[in-house]
Amino acid sequence: MSGQLALAVGLTALVLFVALTVGLLVRRALISSRGGIVECWLRHNPQQRWRHGLAEYGRDQLSWHRSMSLRLRPHAAFDRSQLAVLDSRPATPAEDPGLGSDLVVLRCQGAVRHRGRPAAERVVELAMSRAAFMGLLSWLEASPIYPIRRAS
């Protein structure tokens, strides 16, 4: 009987693992299908570990989705009109072994909504490739300063 129980537990664990993996892959495909997606790491202060995710450029906000999550809504959202890059520097291997030396670390300030909570003014760090960094700067510079009104 114990052999059958072990087999049942093993098969259940395998089914759960496959379901979780498929769920993560489907979620990533759904987020990536919207376009404007770059790989990005985030941390809220220098004492925390980097969290890997996907940054999604929207019309009015930059949304950040954690990689290892089944949540479809973003974990953090940055208001485009209030997001400012304070400084940038190359990533160092000493910061975190998961980050490569070809990444750029940005210190950004702006109104951030974290997990659906109300927006609060925060300083966060983002790490991304040099190409993604240039894309982020272009996206920020292309933002209209004033809302565009349509002629009636």
pLDDT of residue 33: 72
CATH match of 36-141 with 2.30.29.30: yes
pLDDT of residue 55: 92
pLDDT greater than 70 at residue 8: yes
Mean of pLDDT over the chain? 82
Return d(Cα 84, Cα 139) in angstroms, integer. Answer: 12
Domain extents in the chain? 1-33, 36-141
Q: Which residues neighbour 56 within 8 Å (Cβ) at sequence distance 6 or greater?
A: 31, 34, 36, 37, 62, 63, 64, 65, 74
Question: How much is the pTM?
Answer: 0.75
